[in-house]
């Protein structure tokens, strides 16, 4: 698999939405993701980004120059996804960066652990894409921030790895069979 780097001049006037959800209330926005948001906004892109935590949104917004618009939302909830999409009329790029992992050995995995992990790591990205579909312009990009956990197999993170594998499988199918 390859990738291309888009010249900064191509970022002007694009519309980007970054969804994020972290279980840890004290975990700030991931540094590299924040850098990308800042760069895109600085280059002229309208950049929306989400978090459940108001303080985190305001701190991130203060670090970004340009047209960066924080949206407080719990992207694990379909109603919240619908609400934020109502504020956005068109999208050129959707970045899905929602996920959580919790350590649990096979003996420790509970129904709640399984439901929470799959709910956030599989259901939320699926419904974020579904909610954004009407807003995605022809030629729009969807960027899914994933993990290598589905291929390396780390002790205590079996459910997390399985959820990431399920998410990757779903999005591979969507990439091949795009909606009309």
Q: What would the pLDDT profile of 86-130 be if each residue is shown by its tens digit?
A: 888 888 888 887 788 899 999 999 999 999 999 889 998 899 889
Pair 52, 130: CB distance under 8 Å:
no
Count of other CB atoms within 10 angstroms of residue 161: 19
In the chain, count H helices and then E strands: 7, 5
Backbone angles phi, psi at 134, to 5 degrees: -65, -20
Q: Model pTM?
A: 0.76
Give the span between the Cα atoms of 53 and 104, in whole angstroms: 26
Q: Which domains does the chain have, with CATH numbers?
A: 14-176 (3.40.50.720)
Give the span between the Cα atoms of 45 and 14, in whole angstroms: 5
| Widest distance between CA atoms in the chain | 52
* Residue 84: both structure tokens together: 């934020």
pLDDT computed for residue 20 by the predictor: 61
- Least Cα distance to 161 among 99, 108, 112 occurs for 99
Highest mean pLDDT among 29-43, 57-71, 159-173: 159-173
pLDDT computed for residue 104 by the predictor: 96
Mean pLDDT, all residues of the chain: 78
Q: Which residue in 18, 21, 157, 160 is the catalytic one?
A: 160
* Known catalytic residue at 160: yes
Element of type H or E holding 120: none
Q: How confident is the model at residue 60 (pLDDT cuts 50, 70, 90)?
A: confident
Q: Are strands 68-72 and 91-98 parallel, antiparallel or unpaired?
A: unpaired
pLDDT computed for residue 111 by the predictor: 97
3-state secondary structure 95-144: EEEECCCCCCCCCCCCHHHHHHHHHHHHHHHHHHHHHHHHHEEEEEEEEE
88 against 65, higher pLDDT: 88
> Does the structure show a pLDDT above 70 at 4?
no
């Amino acid at each position: 698999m390859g990738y291309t780097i888009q010249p900064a001049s191509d970022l002007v006037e694009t519309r980007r939405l970054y969804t994020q959800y972290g279980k840890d209330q004290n975990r700030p926005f991931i540094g590299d993701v924040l850098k990308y948001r800042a760069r895109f906004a600085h280059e002229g892109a309208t950049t929306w980004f989400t978090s459940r935590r108001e303080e985190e949104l305001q701190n991130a917004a203060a670090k970004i120059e340009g047209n960066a618009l924080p949206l407080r939302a719990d992207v694990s909830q379909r109603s919240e996804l619908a609400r934020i999409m109502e504020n956005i009329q068109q999208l050129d790029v959707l970045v899905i960066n929602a996920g959580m992992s919790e350590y649990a050995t096979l003996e420790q995995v509970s129904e709640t652990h399984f439901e929470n992990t799959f709910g956030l790591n599989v259901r939320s990205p699926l419904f974020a894409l579904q909610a954004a579909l009407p807003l995605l312009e022809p030629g729009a990009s969807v960027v899914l921030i994933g993990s290598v956990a589905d291929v390396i197999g780390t002790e205590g993170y079996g459910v997390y790895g399985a959820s990431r594998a399920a998410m990757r499988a779903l999005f591979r199918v969507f990439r091949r069979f795009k909606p009309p």
